[in-house]
Every structure is written in structure tokens, then in C-alpha cells.
Structure 1
């Protein structure tokens, strides 16, 4: 028996499952894809209860970040980066907080009220909760 490795179209990233993760204090349980895009484009800045949204992401070249962008947001990582750069350089907004690895991403989401990011499903626990994307 040989080893089977699933890869994305065109031999891109290995197929990974990814879920949207939030701090357990966030009352939202479901987000429309366009709402999620607005959050990750840094256009939506607060949850419905007024809590500031804190966005955490992995580096652009991280396989989980690429999977999240393509499968969940339906954009390419470079498109998202262009939006963040435009916000920063124009002075109209900011970029999300970038962390180095999944462990740190989980820790930041868990520790910061209003936090949102993305994780492999197996990282969802009592410290972070998943949000359904419709």
C-alpha cells in the first residue's frame, strides 16, 4: 500500500479543512460569506453587541491561510493582502494581526474578546468556538 496525499487543483496546497473561529464571548454563531469578507477586509469593525472585532491571520504563504482565503472567502491571498495594504497606506484602516503558527493563532483568538480567525477543525475546543459560514 502506498501513501496517498490529497492536493488541491493544479497541485497547489494539500487539502486542509478550515473553520472560522471566534472568542467564546462572541455571540454570533453564523455569518454570511459577504459579512465574513467585510470582517477580513477590515471594513466591519464591531460585532452586533458593539464589541470591537480583532482579526488574526497566518502569513500569506501559510497553507491554512491560502485554504481559508480560497475555500471560505472565495478570494486569493494576494487580493486580501492588497486590500490590507491599501487600508494601511491610505490611512483609512489597518491590517489584521499576523501570527506565525496555528498554536499562536488559537491562543490569540482564545485570549482576546471579539477575536476572529480560522483554525483546523481539530483545534476547536472550550477556549474557541466555530462559526458557521452560509
Structure 2
């Protein structure tokens, strides 16, 4: 069995992959892959639509949630405080809104599954057939 070496010891690769934080969207979203730059722009609330023009509804976990920190660092290549500054900027300038916050991954799943154009992130173990994984280039 392949092992992935981590700071706290070795973990089977299959378990490590289950802990991946994936970009997920509502099943009605027709875009199936995004670049890192487009994903970052959507999560920073600078881009308000999917590439096909559909309104994007962004959902995030609290800044203190470890899954939020992992997603932001690993997938967006920024730090949570940098993303928060971007949200504060659009809110205080009156040019936009902050993303919708949910408290748990279960809540994230429910909101994404029930909101047209929704985008968020989940660990693989929380996925079901009501949402789709969006690949990132």
C-alpha cells in the first residue's frame, strides 16, 4: 500500500485522498472545470458569474475552520486572511457582498445541493450525487 508522508507520520494514500478538499458545485452548473485564477476571482467575489454567464453563489466555511484553511491555501494559493481582506474590500466599498457562510460541511452540502449556481468545497467523504466536483486546471 502506498504511503503519503505527513508531518504527523505516515497515512495510507487512500486515506489522504479522502481528506482532499474538492471544489464542488450545484448539479445545474454547466461548467465542469475552472482555472485557479478564475476560481480565486470567484471566491474573492471579484467575478460574480460562471464562465457561461450563470450567476455564481459562493459558500464558505468560517475562517477558523480547518477545511476552509486547507482549501484556500491548497486550491487558491492564498491565505484565509487575504481572502477575508478581499471580502471586506468589496463589502465596504459597496461593490459587492461577502460569500454565504455555513457552519459545517453538512451545511455546505445542503446549501450547494439546493442553490442554483452554487459553488463551495467539501472533503470527499461529504460528497453525494446532488453535487458535482469541478476540476481545477
With structure 1 as the length reference, what TM-score do the two structures score? 0.87
User: Which of these residues, 115, 118, 128, is aligned with residue 118 of structure 2?
Assistant: 115
Structure-1 residue corresponding to 2:58: 55
Taking the aligned partners of 1:7 and 1:78, their CA distance within structure 2 comes to: 24
User: Which of these residues, 27, 30, 37, is aligned with residue 24 of structure 1?
Assistant: 27
What's the Cα RMSD here? Answer: 1.7
Structure-2 residue corresponding to 1:35: 38
Q: Secondary structure at the match of 1:94?
A: coil
Shift of 1:54: 0.1
Give the length in aligned residue pairs: 124
Structure-1 residue corresponding to 2:74: 71
- Runs (5+) with no aligned partner, structure 1: 1-5, 9-14
Point out the structure with the larger strand share.
Answer: 2
Change over 3 Å in CA distance of 1:7–1:63 after alignment to 2:
farther
